């Protein structure tokens, strides 16, 4: 049996039916190619020939090669998902990776910024610098709503409702969710939207954030612009887009202690990596958000 033929069909299913991102599909492809090379090196030519001991030996080899527990866990997860697909296709009868455990992954707390550092990073910028106004709006929005980099980059102008102070984002697995937008992000977005028309080169352009050439911003460009903002604001530390998301989650939890609400706002199946997914109505999420998020709470000077 052609091992690669089954992998290609699996990857096509992930892309066309599950709507996984190209990056996720590429990760699956890398993991399964690695495993296919391993089993062929052991003289196996069909997926049906793989058993529990084969997968366990693969995990053990990866550990001896110095791979960390979370890397091996991801590779085993890819193999398990692939075999679930093979079972549905009636190619194999059981999942040999089902009970294989990886070494415990080191749990590292994500790096975050404190609220003072966020204030320094996102303080007002010169009104005559259009791209800096755009950058401020981008990163205010990312921190305001805990967006992933891909979610920020893919935002279209029609997904933002400034009057309702909310937006719709499409996250992993092509799942959409509504999120509240904080008052400082609303103000920053209003400033950018007054300038955005100057950068529209094609009437059909829907991207919320545009480059100076009128194109949707690439992920790498957003990271580069964040680095420039860090330098300009003399923050004195490295901040990645994902750190803004981590900071959002940390600050929300510190203020509200409502784990389920934050879990829903982030678009996680479960913030503790379990299989439970909790659905909360948007009104409750908005109430928790308004009371807890440091850039959404009203100050005494607000009307």
pLDDT band at residue 256 using 50, 70 and 90 as cut-offs: low
User: What's the predicted TM-score (pTM) here?
Assistant: 0.57
Is 138 in contact with 225 (CB distance < 8 Å)? yes
115-292: which CATH topology? hpI Integrase; Chain A (1.10.443)
- Across 131-146, average pLDDT: 92
pLDDT band at residue 176 using 50, 70 and 90 as cut-offs: confident
Closest CA to 142 of 124, 127, 155, 156: 155
**Position 128 pLDDT exceeds 50:** yes
Is 33 assigned a catalytic role? no
Predicted local distance difference test score (pLDDT) of residue 298: 62
pLDDT band at residue 257 using 50, 70 and 90 as cut-offs: low
Three-class SS of 159-210: HEECCCCEEEEECHHHCEEEEECCHHHHHHHHHHHHHHHHHCCCCCCCECCE
Closest CA to 34 of 1, 70, 85, 74: 74
Is 62 assigned a catalytic role? no
**Position 210 pLDDT exceeds 60:** yes
Asked which of 98-107, 136-145, 281-290 is least confident by mean pLDDT, the reply is: 281-290
For the chain, residues classed under CATH 1.10.150 are 3-88
- Domain 3-88 top-level CATH class: mainly alpha
Predicted local distance difference test score (pLDDT) of residue 189: 94
**Position 136 pLDDT exceeds 60:** yes
Catalytic residue among 101, 212, 238, 277: 277
Is 148 assigned a catalytic role? yes
How far is it, in rounded angstroms, from Cα 214 to Cα 159? 18
How far is it, in rounded angstroms, from Cα 282 to Cα 231? 37
Size (the chain), residues: 303
Catalytic residue among 148, 215, 219, 246: 148
pLDDT band at residue 126 using 50, 70 and 90 as cut-offs: low
Catalytic residue among 80, 111, 172, 183: 172
Catalytic residue among 268, 289, 293, 295: 268
Predicted local distance difference test score (pLDDT) of residue 149: 92
Q: What does the pLDDT look like over 31-51, one tens digit per residue?
A: 999 999 999 998 998 999 999
How far is it, in rounded angstroms, from Cα 82 to Cα 163? 45
Asked which of 15-24, 164-173, 269-278 is least confident by mean pLDDT, the reply is: 269-278
pLDDT band at residue 75 using 50, 70 and 90 as cut-offs: very high
Is 52 assigned a catalytic role? no
Predicted local distance difference test score (pLDDT) of residue 161: 92
Helix (H, G, I), strand (E, B), or coil: what is residue 270?
coil
H runs (alpha helix) in the chain: 3-16, 22-41, 52-64, 69-88, 115-121, 130-145, 149-153, 183-196, 219-232, 241-256, 259-266, 282-292
- Across 65-83, average pLDDT: 90
DSSP category for residue 94? S
Range 16-23 contact pairs with CB under 8 angstroms and sequence separation of 24 or more? 18/173, 18/174, 19/173, 19/174, 20/172, 20/173, 21/150, 21/172
Residues in Cβ contact with 43 at an 8 Å cutoff, skipping those fewer than 6 apart? none
**Beta bridge pairs of residue 169:** 177
Asked which of 35-49, 156-170, 236-250 is least confident by mean pLDDT, the reply is: 236-250
Is 172 assigned a catalytic role? yes
For residue 79, CA distances in Å to 47, 51, 86, 261, 272 come to 11, 12, 10, 32, 22
For the chain, residues classed under CATH 1.10.443.10 are 115-292
Catalytic residue among 184, 191, 225, 245: 245
Is 277 assigned a catalytic role? yes
Catalytic residue among 111, 242, 246, 260: 242
- Across 221-239, average pLDDT: 88
């Amino acid at each position: 049996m052609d091992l690669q033929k089954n992998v290609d069909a699996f990857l096509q299913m992930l892309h066309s039916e599950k709507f996984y991102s190209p990056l996720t599909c590429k990760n699956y492809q890398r993991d399964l190619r690695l495993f296919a090379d391993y089993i062929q090196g052991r003289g196996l030519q069909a997926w049906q020939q793989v058993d529990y001991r084969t997968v366990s030996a693969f995990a053990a080899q990866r550990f001896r090669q110095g791979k960390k527990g979370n890397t091996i866990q991801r590779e085993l997860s890819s193999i398990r998902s692939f075999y679930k697909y093979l079972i549905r296709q009636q190619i194999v009868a059981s999942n040999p990776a089902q009970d294989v455990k990886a070494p415990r992954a080191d749990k590292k707390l994500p790096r975050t910024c404190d609220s003072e550092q966020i204030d320094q990073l996102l303080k007002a910028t010169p009104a005559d610098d259009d791209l800096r106004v755009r950058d401020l709006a981008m990163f205010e929005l990312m921190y305001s709503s805990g967006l992933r980099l891909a979610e920020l980059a893919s935002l279209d102008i029609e997904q933002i409702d400034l009057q309702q102070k909310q937006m719709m984002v499409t996250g992993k697995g092509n799942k959409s969710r509504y999120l509240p937008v904080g008052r400082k992000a609303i103000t920053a977005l209003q400033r950018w939207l007054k300038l955005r028309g100057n950068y529209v080169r094609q009437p059909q352009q829907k991207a919320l954030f545009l480059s100076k050439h009128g194109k949707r911003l690439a992920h790498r460009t957003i990271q580069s612009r964040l680095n420039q903002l860090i330098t300009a604001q003399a923050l004195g530390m490295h901040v990645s887009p994902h750190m803004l998301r981590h900071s959002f989650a940390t600050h929300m939890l510190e203020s509200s202690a409502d784990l389920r609400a934050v879990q829903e706002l982030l678009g996680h199946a479960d913030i503790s990596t379990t299989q439970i997914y909790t659905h909360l109505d948007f009104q409750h999420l908005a109430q928790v958000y308004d009371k807890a998020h440091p850039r959404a709470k009203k100050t005494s000077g607000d009307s």
